[in-house]
Structure 1
């Protein structure tokens, strides 16, 4: 049985898992959806109630009934490398590829449907509340007066993107930023704005959940630090134990989200409380493993290579 890894050519994190799968002698195929049509090819047959499908790349062919698991790591846009790419061709290719893969009995990390919903920040916040995480007070609004009242109530608030990094070339960075309570909120009417109560951080926490395994790392924050993704703090990531309450909330969240993998970000306050910020269903873990030596890649490989 074969593991299918959907990712682009340049993906160091995928390389780490591929190396672990090779150690375990688990057959795998690494495939970029951007290579269809062209370097890659597919065929699916639905006849008399039966399904047969095949995917090929680099001279290798994998049968859909021989798939053990599918890891959606960092796949390219379908048909991105076609001789005449177009939005229509990408849509057609994506429908064909993911529809064929969804016709199999393979396990997903993570299923495209679950992943798409899990990317929605408003849904994340509601699910985090229901899972038992402490979540900073948050609003998403296009009403300037609502934003102003929120800032006046909590005094120290931050603004952050609802959807993450915007598409651009070169890519734009949108760090989480403190907003003074006397700011001009009239621009809120121009588009949905996410405001959140600022948590004075003692540390950033990244918790990587692979199946039932948890790997948490902690990095001390600088005084007044707002967004730990930008700027050096002079501190490295260190392994840290997961509080039982957080472990239970992670399990509940992933069950509600239908996720096999999740990278959770928390802000740890001065009392040691881990405040939920977000869960990235496809978040990086390579940088954490390199600094902490936690065996995250091996855990991903073990999950993908396990028998159903």
Structure 2
């Protein structure tokens, strides 16, 4: 049976897993939905109750009813690279491809509908709280007065993007930034803004959950550091044990979110050592953690993808 990998051509993280699958002798097909139609072709039919479907790319043909798993990493939009792209063609192609794949018994990491919901930070906060994580007080608002009141109440707050990176080309990363309580909050009325109580931290934690296996890594933070993604602290990621209560919360979160993979970010509080939930990235990178820690993340993803459907 075959593993299908949907991602862009420049995805180095996917390259690591593909190499592991090749080493294990697992048949796989990799392509970017942006190349369909064009470099990628599909055909599916439902005749007298029987379903048959085929995908081809680079001279290789895969029968979709023989797929064991589908890894949706960081694919482009359907038909984005077509000779004459259009919103209509993108919608038609998206329905044809994912409708066909939904008709299989393959396992997903992660299913597009689950992934779309899991990206919404406001939804994440609610699920994280219900799963048992400590979650910093959070406000998403277009009311300047609400923003001002929140900042006055918690004194030390940060502002974040609600959706993540901007949609520019190339996308611009928006750092988490401290906001003083006497700031001018009038601009909040122009668009939804996410504020969160600032957690003074001694370390950043990245927990990579793959199926039933959890790997945690810790990176010491500098005093007063706000966003661990930016700047060089002089520290590298180090492996760390996952506390049992955190593991249980991760498993509850993933069940509720219908995720097979999640990259969880925590702030380890300076005084208490509590792991405060910041977000779960359903398609988060893990190559940088494996490079520093030696944790077998790519191999574990490959093993999950290679397992026979249950």
State the TM bucket, normalised to the shorter chain: over 0.9
Separation (CA, whole Å) in 1 of partners of 2:3 and 2:171? 32
Separation (CA, whole Å) in 1 of partners of 2:22 and 2:170? 35
What residue is the counterpart of 1:3 in the other structure?
3
> What TM-score comes out, normalization by structure 1 length?
0.99
Separation (CA, whole Å) in 2 of partners of 1:84 and 1:106? 32
What residue is the counterpart of 1:287 in the other structure?
288
Following superposition of structure 1 onto structure 2, how do residues 3-22 of structure 1 map, counting pairs within 5 Å? 3-22=3-22
Separation (CA, whole Å) in 2 of partners of 1:197 and 1:183? 15
- Displacement of 1:77 in angstroms is 1.6
Following superposition of structure 1 onto structure 2, how do residues 220-259 of structure 1 map, counting pairs within 5 Å? 220-259=220-259
Following superposition of structure 1 onto structure 2, how do residues 61-140 of structure 1 map, counting pairs within 5 Å? 61-140=61-140
- Displacement of 1:169 in angstroms is 2.3
- Displacement of 1:31 in angstroms is 1.3
Separation (CA, whole Å) in 2 of partners of 1:47 and 1:81? 31
Runs of 4+ with >4 A deviation: none
What is the CA deviation profile of residues 245-301 of structure 1, one whole-angstrom value per residue up to 9, with x for unaligned ones?
100000000000000000000000121100000000000000100110000000000
What is the CA deviation profile of residues 226-247 of structure 1, one whole-angstrom value per residue up to 9, with x for unaligned ones?
0001111110000000111100
Separation (CA, whole Å) in 1 of partners of 2:100 and 2:188? 42
Separation (CA, whole Å) in 1 of partners of 2:14 and 2:173? 24
- Displacement of 1:50 in angstroms is 2.0
Separation (CA, whole Å) in 2 of partners of 1:307 and 1:102? 17
Alignment RMSD (CA, Å)? 0.8
Separation (CA, whole Å) in 1 of partners of 2:171 and 2:117? 23
- In the alignment of these two chains, the number of paired residues is 308
Separation (CA, whole Å) in 2 of partners of 1:144 and 1:80? 38
Following superposition of structure 1 onto structure 2, how do residues 147-296 of structure 1 map, counting pairs within 5 Å? 147-270=147-270, 271-296=272-297
- Displacement of 1:187 in angstroms is 1.0
What residue is the counterpart of 1:28 in the other structure?
28
- Displacement of 1:49 in angstroms is 2.2
Gaps of 5+ in 2: none
- Displacement of 1:133 in angstroms is 0.1
What residue is the counterpart of 2:47 in the other structure?
47
Separation (CA, whole Å) in 1 of partners of 2:132 and 2:122? 16
- Displacement of 1:81 in angstroms is 1.7
- Displacement of 1:160 in angstroms is 0.3
Secondary structure (helix, strand or coil) at the match of 1:10 reads coil
Separation (CA, whole Å) in 2 of partners of 1:118 and 1:182? 33
Separation (CA, whole Å) in 2 of partners of 1:3 and 1:113? 20
Secondary structure (helix, strand or coil) at the match of 2:159 reads strand
Separation (CA, whole Å) in 2 of partners of 1:78 and 1:226? 36
